[in-house]
Structure 1
Amino acid sequence: MVRYSAMLDVPRPVVEYLSRLLAAHRRAIGTPKGSRALGPFRQAVLILRWFREKRCVHCAAVDAGISQATGYRYLHEGIDVLAGQAPDLHEVLQQCRREGTSHVVLDGTLIECDRLAGARETGTDWWYSAKHKAFGGNIQ
């Protein structure tokens, strides 16, 4: 195998921001310093590389010098840390109400419901989401 390095087309401040979030998370859960295979910065690069390149975790893990299992663990930890920064739906809706927003798009959110009648020309049901394997609609 031949190792090589490449540029990640993500601004350095973004990597540093995620790195700070990961370091704070590690302190919060009591991770001893130096006990991880990757430091927060290299973990941030692994996570952002996965988001940016949309490739296998195994490839990014090998390039970072860690196992596939550790790569998945670090990736999911990073996703959880990032998700913790997002406001929840109730906060967003309250902010929209304060600002007088008339419409909100809950992009990609399937609101499950009972089956409703209606079929396309192809015979598939209008209200069935094959992705979610459930009946529902995207409420806007």
Structure 2
Amino acid sequence: MTDAARKSHPFLDDLEENVVLISSVLRCPVHGRETVARVVKAGACHYASQTPRFLGAAGERSYFEYDAQLVDGVAASGLVSMVRNAHGRVTHLHIAFSPLDAVLSMANGLREQLGAECDPAWFLPSGEGV
């Protein structure tokens, strides 16, 4: 993992074996440390730049809010919510993007990058009007 990816997603080292990812760019939850890490890393490949706006915690939940420029030129806002168990391991991730053009851009990029090796039911259909 590159230094930039590690700084952008420091929680990847803390994923619990049965972690669950829910995202606005996927049709259904994704389960398991290796699978979730693969999806998050694939998504990070679509960032041309990332600018943090907020990092904070409330109890067992922490939040990371950022702006990103995607490689296709689309501007995105991202919000990551992480739930950690008593051992500090991440059990739940919720990653949301806005506006809709950013959601569709990320969804298309993930489908193109991971579609051949992952369940097609995970991905939004290609094109607009989703």
State TM-score, norm by structure 2. 0.28
TM-score normalized by the length of structure 1: 0.26
Q: Which structure has the greater CA radius of gyration?
A: 1
Structure showing the higher helix proportion among its residues: 1
Greater RCO, 1 or 2 (C-alpha within 8 Å, sep 6+): 2
Give 1 or 2: higher strand fraction.
2
